[in-house]
């Protein structure tokens, strides 16, 4: 598998992912007020898994299978409709001084693949190469932006204030006990972060803006810490890293990028839902007020790469507050419905897959010219006519029932070839009509 094959697989995987994004958005719309917000988030994991593992069994919904059939159908139509040899133009009973008539050379109209198709395929290869290099440039640029973002985050962590108050340390410890987290987690203050954020895949850290740490109550601070610890427990930092890497690979697909954006938003709503499950009845309103307090103190326009921020943007706050105010613990019916939806989308995603398809390069290589003509080079016709007459060559011809397969890369002999017709550089064409007139 070369680089163009990998690029082709990525393009088909992108199409598959786009279909899954549309399905998920429709499901979210239909079951907006029925499914729990956590299910809305976990449905997106199907998209991530499918983009990471695009392969699957051959099914009628296989994207590459559909493409290959359509592509071969187009080639067949062009072959039968556009490129045909006109039998009425063939000469009859013309010889080169021998008794064997030339009309025994009758090229067949069956199974003739025009050189124009090979030219079109070669042009397509050039287009694929251009698109491949554009994709590579986009990937390199995206990697550069991601690396710069992580360097900025590391610098912020290094200069952050590690000396936090004992009250905040105690709140962190109590929240870890509530969520049953035993990992060592560092708490720090920073002027460079716009919102309380969790960062660090191996050594997790919670960064709190100094403005929030100095002006928020201990009760609200507890809700902030529980939110970030819930992200840690749900492995959202790792999922966020996967989303960033997939965004680099599929940067050219706006549908997938929009899906990743919606997934990040659903991640925050799901985190809210999980936090509320640990709180007592009636505390949901206090939790919502804590988020609004952070919104007033934080600058939400400075999102850091590699973090899960409590506040992402103003537009999503209204939705989150409504979800928090209407929070109800999930029941068995919601669990069953959510499980059924996940199974259905997973099944469709399993059938919608990208398998290795026959490359157009192989189609061009394996394409043949099935004509009933002698397998002879133009040099033998032009330069060696004195040694071997055309009648001798004719005697070596196969019967009319036989099809001599001549690859596109071979030298071919064509009677009365058109002067304005182009052929690939790999094909040497000899005008037999002109040669016969010269002989006469």
**What's the pLDDT score for residue 437?**
62
| Cβ atoms of 25 and 262 closer than 8 Å | yes
**What's the pLDDT score for residue 194?**
86
> Which residues in the chain are classed under CATH 3.30.2010.10?
129-329
**What's the pLDDT score for residue 387?**
45
Flag the least confident range among 34-48, 150-164, 405-419.
405-419
pLDDT per residue over 354-391, tens digit each? Answer: 655 444 444 444 443 333 334 444 444 444 444 444 44
**What's the pLDDT score for residue 332?**
73
**What's the pLDDT score for residue 121?**
57
Percent of the chain clearing pLDDT 90 (strictly above): 36
Helix-strand-coil split of the chain, %, nearest 5: 60, 5, 35
Please give the torsion angle defined by the CA atoms of residues 320, 321, 327 and 330, in that order, rounded to the nearest 10 degrees. 10
Give the pLDDT band (50/70/90) at residue 97: very low
Flag the least confident range among 92-106, 227-241, 305-319.
92-106
**What's the pLDDT score for residue 180?**
92
| Cβ atoms of 371 and 71 closer than 8 Å | no
**What's the pLDDT score for residue 282?**
82
Q: What dotted CATH number matches 129-329? A: 3.30.2010.10
**What's the pLDDT score for residue 190?**
92
The angle subtended at Cα 379 by Cα 376 and Cα 384, nearest 5°, is 90
C-alpha dist (Å) from residue 278 to 274, 310, 324? 7, 17, 13
Instruction: Give first-to-last CA distance, the chain, whole Å.
Output: 54
Q: How far apart are CA 221 and CA 218, in angstroms?
A: 5
Give the pLDDT band (50/70/90) at residue 57: low
Give the pLDDT band (50/70/90) at residue 404: very low
Strand partners, 371: 404
**What's the pLDDT score for residue 153?**
93
The pTM of this model reads 0.68
**What's the pLDDT score for residue 141?**
97
DSSP 280-347: PTTTHHHHHHHHHHHHHHS-TT-PPTTEEES---HHHHHHHHHHHHT-----HHHHHHHHHHHHHHHH
- Given a cut of 80, whether residue 145 has pLDDT beyond it is yes
- Given a cut of 80, whether residue 272 has pLDDT beyond it is yes
């Amino acid at each position: 598998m070369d680089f163009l094959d990998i690029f082709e697989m990525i393009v088909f995987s992108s199409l598959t992912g786009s279909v899954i994004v549309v399905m998920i958005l429709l499901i979210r719309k239909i079951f907006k007020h029925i499914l729990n917000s956590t299910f809305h988030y976990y449905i997106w994991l199907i998209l991530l898994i499918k983009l990471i593992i695009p392969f699957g069994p051959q099914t009628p919904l296989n994207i590459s299978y559909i493409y290959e059939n359509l592509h071969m159908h187009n080639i067949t139509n062009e072959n039968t409709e556009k490129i045909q040899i006109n039998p009425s133009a063939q000469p009859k009973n013309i010889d080169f001084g021998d008794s064997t008539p030339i009309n025994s050379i009758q090229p067949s109209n069956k199974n003739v693949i025009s050189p124009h198709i090979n030219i079109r395929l070669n042009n397509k290869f050039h287009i694929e190469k251009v698109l491949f290099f554009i994709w590579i440039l986009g990937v390199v640029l995206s990697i550069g932006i991601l690396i710069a973002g992580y360097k900025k985050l590391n610098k912020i962590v290094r200069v952050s204030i590690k000396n936090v108050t004992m009250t905040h340390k105690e709140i962190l410890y109590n929240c870890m006990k509530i969520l049953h987290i035993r990992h060592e987690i560092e708490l720090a203050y920073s002027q460079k972060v716009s919102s309380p954020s969790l960062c660090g895949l191996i050594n997790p850290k919670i960064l709190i803006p100094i403005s929030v740490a100095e002006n928020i109550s201990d009760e609200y601070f507890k809700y902030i810490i529980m939110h970030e610890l819930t992200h840690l427990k749900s492995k959202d930092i790792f999922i966020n890293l996967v989303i960033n890497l997939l965004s680099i690979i599929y940067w050219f697909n706006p549908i997938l990028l929009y899906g990743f954006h919606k997934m990040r938003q659903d991640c925050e709503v799901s985190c809210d839902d999980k936090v509320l499950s640990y709180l007592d009845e009636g505390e949901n309103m206090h939790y919502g007020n804590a988020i609004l307090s952070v919104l007033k103190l934080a600058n939400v326009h400075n999102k850091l790469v590699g973090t899960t921020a409590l506040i992402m943007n103003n537009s999503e706050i209204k939705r989150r507050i409504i979800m928090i105010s209407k929070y109800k613990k999930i029941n068995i019916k919601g669990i069953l419905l959510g499980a059924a939806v996940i199974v259905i989308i997973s099944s469709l995603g399993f059938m919608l897959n990208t398998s290795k398809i026959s490359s157009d390069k192989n189609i061009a290589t394996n394409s043949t010219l099935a004509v009933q003509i002698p397998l002879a080079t133009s040099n033998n016709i032009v330069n060696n006519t004195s040694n071997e007459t055309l009648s001798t060559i004719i005697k070596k011809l196969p019967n009319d029932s036989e099809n001599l397969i001549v690859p596109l890369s071979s030298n071919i002999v064509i009677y009365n070839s058109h002067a304005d017709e182009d052929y690939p550089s790999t094909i040497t064409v000899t005008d037999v009509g002109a040669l016969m007139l010269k002989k006469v």
